[in-house]
Chain A
Amino acid sequence: MKALISLREKDIGWVRETLGRFHPGMLPIANKPQVEYLIDFAILNGCSDVRIVMDELGRDLENYFGNGIRWGVRISYALSSCSDNIEQVIEKNSNFCADSSLLIMDGFFFIHYDKNKAYDIRAEILSQAMAVSCESGSVFYCSNIKELSSMIDIATEVDFSLSPLNSMDDVFQMTVQILDAEQEHYVLPGYGSAKEVLMGRNVELERNVQIRPPVIIGNNVRLGKNAIIGPHAAIGNDSVVDQETEVKESIVFPKSYLGVCLTLQKKIICGDKMFSVKEGEWLEIGEGFLLSQLNDLRIRPFFRKLVDRSAAFLLILLLFLPFYFLRTARLFQNDWIIRNKKYFRNAQGQHCQVKEVVPSCGTRSGRVFEKLSLDCFYKLFSAAAGKLDLVGNQPLEVNMYNMRRLQDFTFYSAGVFTYSKSEGLVLGSLEADITERFYAANKSILQDGRVLTRIMHSRFTVKNMEVEK
């Protein structure tokens, strides 16, 4: 038997309009793409070949499923026209469909099946085409295309059923239903560390995270201090739930950042968009520190370090002459004190010694010195040596208090130029803390460039005030 999955715009268009981020076939339901459930069902029916027919190219879908080797089937892809009906789709794929009984899945729906049951007996009992339908699609069994015109409905005779996927509300209900009662029916991603808790690879939990089953958590997820996940929560791959946030009866799509101290109940989060199941409305949150789309968390460290070190080296060359000129002027005005300090470099507790120029006592040369960011000159050498980031978090002095703070700050990476300074925030304030965490979680070369530009600009417009801790 062969399987043909038909995904047509008339059925999946609402997903594109609403989310647009990915191919609708990749819409996660309990952290697993919708199409993957169909492929699993095809495999249970004894299919060794699967063809996915789409109106538009689905690069992310094709990249994910590839040639099907991970599932032990051969997966191929084809395009159809928007106006084609299912008979025309089959006819256009006649080479694939010939000489084999077919399992056709046409539309956009969820199949409720049980992986522990046998479904591969259909081929033996096929005497005419049989169908199971819902309002957004159908599953057909047939031997050839001619049988489609005289199909019989077998919904009451089979042990699987379909549920339509016409709205985000349907997606929500399906996810909750799977988490509640159907986890055992499907191959779901993750490992069962406890009953009704599925966790992916590389999940980081900070202090006092509460997991309330049933819950499914994807790969590379970070859960902040005192976060509460569940019940009935699905956290997608590569997402971050920051500290004190509660996610209950909600779905978080992959690569989403949830900020500090939020409460989500009956919500679907897709990057910076939030859908309320209760209100039936979408809201785009304009503030990244509440909700945002995360860039690919697999930052290529080597490349980023190379850019950082090169930029630091360039800044050293650029600022070398003004530094020594103004240093001489400050020495002459008795406004020059150097100190050595030890700072934590990263969340793992590695530290480095850095030379610092004590802030000016108000001399003209001191003011010009600080306006040109020359107070960071010595730190640039640490950045060029790779010990500090060029743009990063406010360096934390090595002491017990900061060591405890690091335990809750997974993304911490000390920088020469800091995120909170770029926003003109008072250091040590709640806003500065939130900003530091948000930017650290969203770190990228482009962001760092913007932050650096903002700092340079702000040096000439706003005087930053430091709060000594």
Chain B
Amino acid sequence: MKIEYLKKEKIGLVKIWGRLDGLNADILKEAVLAYLLETTSILIDCAELEYIDSVGLGALLAGLKKAVAAGGDIRLADVRPKVKMTLEITRVDQIFLSYDTVGSGVTSWI
């Protein structure tokens, strides 16, 4: 898994490549918690996220909890169908705001 972070004005753009599962969810969790120190508005670009499991979901939810507690949010953009399916069946899609493109995700904060 690879993670890239870019701060655009007040929004943190996080892009994830590969699989987010039990082997590397901790890495993302630590990274997101670190990014939250800079900004509480984080948009995760999921265009290259191939797969997520329950541990990966847990990492995202941990980040969301922290962001919301600080008055911010973590949102998702460009989620692939297979990842979307996992989000849907576990009802996590009802917790995260999700957008078709990174552009519309960024606009949502304006």
Q: What is the chain B residue whose CB lies nearest that of A282? A: B82
Contacts of B53 in A (CB 8 A): 286-287
Partner of B89, one of A262, A279, A281, A289: A262
| Interface segment, one of A79-87, A263-271, A340-348 | A263-271
A279 B91 Cβ-Cβ under 8 A: no
Partner of A281, one of B54, B81, B90, B91: B81
B54 A276 Cβ-Cβ under 8 A: no
A281 B82 Cβ-Cβ under 8 A: yes
Is B85 at the interface (CB under 8 A from chain A)? yes
A274 B91 Cβ-Cβ under 8 A: no
Write the nearest CB–CB distance from B50 to chain A, whole angstroms. 11
- Per-position 1/0 for A163-188, Cβ under 8 A of B: 00000000000000000000000000
A261 B91 Cβ-Cβ under 8 A: yes
- Per-position 1/0 for A243-287, Cβ under 8 A of B: 000000000000000000111110100000010100111010111
B54 A274 Cβ-Cβ under 8 A: no
Contacts of A287 in B (CB 8 A): 53-54
Write the nearest CB–CB distance from A292 to chain B, whole angstroms. 13
A290 B54 Cβ-Cβ under 8 A: yes
Chain B, interface residues (CB within 8 Å), range? 10 to 19
Write the nearest CB–CB distance from B77 to chain A, whole angstroms. 17
Q: What is the chain B residue whose CB lies nearest that of A262? A: B89
Q: How far is the CA of A262 from the CA of B84 in the complex (A)?
A: 14
- Per-position 1/0 for B62-104, Cβ under 8 A of A: 0000000000000000000110111011110000000000000
Partner of B85, one of A261, A281, A289: A281
A279 B84 Cβ-Cβ under 8 A: yes
Write the nearest CB–CB distance from A49 to chain B, whole angstroms. 45
Contacts of A285 in B (CB 8 A): 86
Q: What is the chain A residue whose CB lies nearest that of B83? A: A283
Q: What is the chain A residue whose CB lies nearest that of B93? A: A263
A264 B54 Cβ-Cβ under 8 A: no
Q: How far is the CA of A345 from the CA of B91 in the complex (A)?
A: 34
B90 A279 Cβ-Cβ under 8 A: no
Contacts of B89 in A (CB 8 A): 262-264, 267, 274, 290-291
- Per-position 1/0 for B51-62, Cβ under 8 A of A: 001100000000
Contacts of A283 in B (CB 8 A): 82, 85-86
Q: How far is the CA of A200 from the CA of B48 in the complex (A)?
A: 44
Contacts of B84 in A (CB 8 A): 279
A276 B90 Cβ-Cβ under 8 A: no
- Per-position 1/0 for B21-39, Cβ under 8 A of A: 1000000000000000000
A263 B88 Cβ-Cβ under 8 A: yes
Contacts of A276 in B (CB 8 A): 81, 85, 88
Contacts of A279 in B (CB 8 A): 81-82, 84-85
A265 B86 Cβ-Cβ under 8 A: no
Q: How far is the CA of A289 from the CA of B88 in the complex (A)?
A: 16
Contacts of A286 in B (CB 8 A): 21, 53
Partner of A262, one of B21, B81, B82, B90: B90
Write the nearest CB–CB distance from B84 to chain A, whole angstroms. 7
Q: What is the chain A residue whose CB lies nearest that of B84? A: A279
Write the nearest CB–CB distance from A172 to chain B, whole angstroms. 15
Q: What is the chain B residue whose CB lies nearest that of A434? A: B54
New contact pairs (20) apart from A280-B81, A287-B53, A287-B54, CB-CB < 8 Å: A261-B91, A262-B89, A263-B88, A263-B90, A263-B91, A264-B89, A265-B88, A267-B85, A274-B85, A274-B89, A276-B81, A276-B85, A279-B81, A279-B85, A281-B85, A283-B82, A283-B85, A286-B53, A290-B89, A290-B90
A-B contact pairs, 18 of them (CB 8 A): A261-B90, A262-B91, A263-B90, A264-B89, A267-B85, A267-B89, A274-B85, A276-B88, A279-B82, A279-B85, A283-B85, A285-B86, A286-B21, A287-B53, A287-B54, A290-B54, A290-B89, A291-B89
- In the A-B complex, list the 8 residue pairs whose CB atoms are closest, starting with the nearest: A279-B81, A281-B81, A283-B82, A262-B89, A283-B85, A276-B85, A263-B91, A287-B54
